[in-house]
Amino acid sequence: MSAGHTHEAPLSHKAERYVGLMSGTSLDGVDAVVAEIGPAGQTRLIHSHHLPYADSLRAQLLALHTPQPDEIHLAAVAANELAHLYAEAIKGLLDGIAPDTVRAIGCHGQTLRHRPADGYTLQIGNASLLAELTGITVIADFRSRDIAAGGQGAPLVPAFHAQALRHPDVHRVIANIGGIANITDLPVGGTVRGWDTGPGNMLLDAWIKRHSGAHYDRDGAWAASGTVHPGLLDALANHAYLQLPPPKSAGREQFNLGWLETTLSNLNQTIAPADVQATLLEFTATSLCDAVSRECSSARELYVCGGGAHNGALMQRIHAHLPNVRVTTTAALGIDPDWVEALAFAWLARQTLHHAPGNLPVVTGARGARILGAIYPA
């Protein structure tokens, strides 16, 4: 599998092309891929494209994560703006590819609320407008059907990981580190499982944004300049979410800047900002690695995808916590770590149109396998 603007031969004459769009909790922008998916679900990346969010849109979306006046109107306006941005990303993605050769777009949308305990999740993006702007059928709202069936609605990518990355003889774990971190357990001959382990880049990004204005800590350099504060790390690790057994999923509702500030205040100590960043990075590493050690003890390989794959300091800490596991990125498996989630939603769109389940009930906790997504015809 290749990344970037490269062409590859079709898998077979029965292969179909799908676009996958992913805009996650990191609020950095939209990842877009066009994939060719064969009759058995085998997936090949054809093109990829990233379009960053404008600072104004990022701030607007972040504000919508908490209640505010006139939020229904503001969310609808933001959904329209996202649809136009998604269409722009697709235009850049399909450079040289005729839109009528794409069967459908799988659009994750931008999550504003994820509250499965209350029976709902909300991702915006105005799929109807996106279908109008592109002339391509759009599949969206993948998570709601799983929640309606009693599930968490997340994570959904483990089904794709099992299809594309499982090995018949080696116990693997796939770790997706975006705003939230999640893992997929791929044992040899056993049951595929997956869940959110805790924060990924979300708190790291929020803290550096507050102190320097940067959107992220490049390569974990600021975190590496600080020292882990044991008391803060222990307080963070006491979060009730970490004690819950899977299946489980998390978001900004659990791990946010307000919670971090409260935790810092309760310690009643002055901690240097760089030391807080170092501790947050260690918290991401330990919460993920503890889950792997506890739940996937026979794993021999861990492959990281998502933005966290580019954080050298974070990757070093994961190595240190899992000394007997081969730790690298999905690039070693031929899939650029930046595009795995977008590929998953291209694959999920295919599942929908082929009337095939997109969830794994053991992962999400749903009552059974379900066909996911709402179809907005071109």
Q: Which amino acid is at 253?
A: E
Assigned domain for 109 exists:
yes
Q: Report the pLDDT averaged over residues 203-219.
A: 96
Please state, in angstroms and rounded to a whole number, the distance separating the CA atoms of residues 15 and 26.
32
Assigned domain for 9 exists:
no
The yes-or-no verdict on residue 6 having pLDDT over 70 is no
Tell me the CATH number at 31: 3.30.420.40
Assigned domain for 82 exists:
yes
Assigned domain for 347 exists:
yes
For 292-325, letters b (16+ CB in 10 Å) and e give beebbeebebbbbbbbbbbbebbbebbbebbeeb
Question: Is the overall model pTM greater than 0.95, yes or no?
Answer: no
| Mean pLDDT rounded to a whole number for the chain | 95
Q: Nearest CA to 346 among 5, 9, 24, 42?
A: 42
Answer yes or no: do 181 and 108 share one domain.
no
Burial of 4 (0-12, 13-18, 19+ CB in 10 A): exposed
Answer yes or no: do 327 and 343 share one domain.
no
- pLDDT band (50, 70, 90) for residue 26: confident
Tell me the per-residue pLDDT of 349-364, one tens digit each, with 9 for 90 and over.
999 999 999 999 999 9
Answer yes or no: do 284 and 358 share one domain.
no
Tell me the per-residue pLDDT of 174-191, one tens digit each, with 9 for 90 and over.
999 999 999 999 999 999
Would you call the peptide bond into 52 cis, given omega within 30 degrees of 0 as the criterion? no
Answer yes or no: do 43 and 185 share one domain.
no
Helix or strand (DSSP H, E) at 208: helix 202-212
Question: Is the distance from CB of 159 to CB of 229 less than 8 angstroms?
Answer: no
Assigned domain for 2 exists:
no
What the block records as the tokens of 126 is 């105005």
Q: What is the pLDDT of residue 25?
A: 85
Answer yes or no: do 262 and 143 share one domain.
no
Q: What is the pLDDT of residue 102?
A: 98
The yes-or-no verdict on residue 24 having pLDDT over 90 is no
Answer yes or no: do 290 and 245 share one domain.
yes
Assigned domain for 20 exists:
yes
Answer yes or no: do 96 and 216 share one domain.
no
Please state, in angstroms and rounded to a whole number, the distance separating the CA atoms of residues 20 and 33.
5
Q: Which of 3-17, 162-176, 203-217 bottoms out in mean pLDDT, i.e. has the lowest?
A: 3-17
The yes-or-no verdict on residue 7 having pLDDT over 60 is no
* Phi/psi at 51 (5° precision): -125, 115
Q: Which domain holds residue 254?
A: 157-333
Q: What is the pLDDT of residue 107?
A: 98
Please state, in angstroms and rounded to a whole number, the distance separating the CA atoms of residues 89 and 85.
6
Q: Nearest CA to 20 among 122, 116, 89?
A: 89
Q: For the chain, how many helices (H) and strands (E)?
A: 13, 13
Answer yes or no: do 141 and 177 share one domain.
no
Q: What is the pLDDT of residue 77?
A: 98
Q: Count structural domains, the chain.
A: 2
Answer yes or no: do 168 and 80 share one domain.
no
Q: What is the pLDDT of residue 355?
A: 97
Assigned domain for 8 exists:
no
Answer yes or no: do 368 and 309 share one domain.
no
Tell me the per-residue pLDDT of 293-347, one tens digit each, with 9 for 90 and over.
999 999 999 999 999 999 999 999 999 999 999 999 999 999 999 999 999 999 9
Please state, in angstroms and rounded to a whole number, the distance separating the CA atoms of residues 18 and 297.
36
Assigned domain for 342 exists:
yes
Answer yes or no: do 85 and 219 share one domain.
no
Answer yes or no: do 251 and 329 share one domain.
yes
